[in-house]
Amino acid sequence: MSADAADEPATRSAVEFVGPFESHDVVFNGRLVPHLTSSPMQGGRVLLHLDRRFVLDISLQEADYLVPFLAHCIAVGMGYSSFPDPDCEPHRAQPMPQVVGIEL
């Protein structure tokens, strides 16, 4: 065994500490939008992060239109009828009907 081998730890840790990250939660109609975070930028722009994988650089005015759409899309993808509105609470969507082939 060499002197260098004696200095190395016997096992390597699988744990890593990555960061720091700075992001902000996105709230629509007073509710947290799951899987959506943001990073404010200078000049009236914001970076939207979807599921920590996809990033979109948009203006704050564009965010006013896009965030409600994304919130509803995420809610539907999670099995709800819509994202909560001030007037009504969403409910679990009905399961999709089974697709049946038609033979001619």
Q: Tens-digit pLDDT profile for the chain (104 aa)?
A: 555 555 555 688 888 878 778 889 999 999 999 999 999 999 999 999 999 899 999 999 999 999 999 999 999 888 888 888 877 777 777 776 777 888 87
- Cβ atoms within 10 A of the Cβ of 41, count? 13
Cis before 20 (ω within 30) = yes
- Rounded to two decimals, the pTM is 0.69
- Give 26: exposed, middle or buried? Use CB within 10 Å, 0-12, 13-18, 19+: buried
What tokens does 15 get?
């744990």
Cα-Cα-Cα-Cα dihedral sign, residues 96, 98, 103, 104: negative
Query: Rounded CA gap, 2 and 56, in Å?
Result: 52
Query: Rounded CA gap, 42 and 59, in Å?
Result: 10
